[in-house]
């Protein structure tokens, strides 16, 4: 008799489909498997923008976990997605965890993908994939902030690995392709071309036909209160990078950058999700 080996780790998947109906953006369809869900849609800005909070009750990804999120934003819909708190990549005894995030935005749509930071525990083994497909003049605003080690308790990232792959395309053509691997105790952590000894690394990406030199100039006038930041303008893409000693200065700087860019690419002033203040 053949005995199947037990599955180790969570298997969770979440699919969200948004549509524009009249002047309202609605969560038209959703499905989930395992411990990955959303709370009810929220409308703190009025009906045209749908805020959604992604909830993962286990609060983190352990070795063997396989999580996937698929978001589809329809024509002219406007969606803001965030998380209720910091995510975590837990220490692993040998198995890799994985989080796959796939986002598609139709013409005229806006997707603001603004999860709170993730803490990578010492000894974590993980794979993070983010793939964004845009059509026509669709807009994507996305952040990713990683803290390597639980710095509050003095922990450093001395072993383990996090592999990252980010891809943004518009009408099938690449706007942004990036791969990286941060190994615990590796030279990249302290290298001048790596994390420069800082535990926190963050990126803010704005993919829109409306990004221009004026926005780049506005961003360059804003500086993080601690750590260092840099901004770059590429064809159809505005990029900000942060390195620092903690997440809070990076979050605050990204919020300032978001406030400067949102009226141009999203047509609205910045609206901080209420969950960030709880």
What's the pLDDT score for residue 87? 93
The pTM of this model reads 0.94
Report the run of H or E that residue 28 belongs to, with start and end. Answer: strand 24-33
> What residues in the chain have per-residue pLDDT under 50?
1-6
Query: What pLDDT was estimated at residue 35?
Result: 86
Q: Which tens digit of pLDDT belongs to each residue from 113-131?
A: 999 999 999 999 999 999 9
Which structure tokens are listed for 235?
């064809």
Distance CA 194, CA 45 (A): 39
pLDDT value at position 6? 45
Q: According to the 3-state scheme, what is the secondary structure of 139-154?
A: EEEEEEEEEECCHHHC
What pLDDT, on a 0 to 100 scale, did the predictor assign at position 81? 97
What pLDDT shows up at residue 19? 98
What pLDDT, on a 0 to 100 scale, did the predictor assign at position 152? 85
232, with CB counted inside 10 A (0-12, 13-18, 19+), is exposed
What pLDDT shows up at residue 277? Answer: 83
pLDDT value at position 57? 73
The torsion angles phi and psi of 17, rounded to 5 degrees, stand at -120, 125
């Amino acid at each position: 008799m053949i005995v199947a080996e037990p599955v180790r780790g969570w298997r969770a998947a979440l699919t969200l489909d948004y549509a524009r109906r009249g002047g309202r953006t609605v969560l038209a369809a959703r499905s989930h498997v395992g411990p990955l869900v959303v709370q009810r849609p929220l409308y703190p800005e009025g009906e045209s923008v749908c805020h959604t909070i992604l909830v993962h009750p286990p609060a983190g990804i352990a070795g063997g976990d396989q999580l996937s999120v698929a978001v589809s934003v329809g024509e002219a819909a406007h969606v803001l997605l965030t998380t209720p708190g910091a995510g975590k990549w837990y220490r692993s005894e040998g198995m890799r965890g994985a989080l796959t995030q796939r986002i598609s935005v139709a013409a005229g749509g806006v997707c603001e993908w603004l999860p709170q930071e993730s803490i990578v525990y010492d000894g974590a083994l993980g794979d993070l994939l983010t793939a964004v497909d845009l059509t026509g003049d669709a807009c994507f605003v996305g952040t990713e902030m990683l803290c390597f080690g639980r710095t509050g308790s003095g922990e450093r990232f001395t072993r383990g690995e996090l592999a990252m792959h980010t891809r943004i395309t518009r009408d099938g053509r690449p706007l942004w392709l990036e791969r990286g691997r941060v190994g615990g105790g590796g030279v990249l952590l302290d290298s001048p071309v790596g994390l420069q000894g800082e535990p926190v690394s963050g990126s803010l990406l704005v993919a829109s036909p409306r990004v221009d030199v004026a926005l780049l100039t506005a961003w360059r006038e804003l500086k993080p209160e601690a750590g260092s930041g840099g901004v770059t303008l590429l064809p159809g893409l505005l990029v900000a990078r942060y390195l620092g000693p903690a997440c809070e200065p990076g979050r605050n700087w990204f919020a300032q950058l978001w406030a400067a860019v949102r009226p141009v690419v999203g047509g609205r002033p910045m609206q901080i999700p209420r969950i960030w203040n709880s």
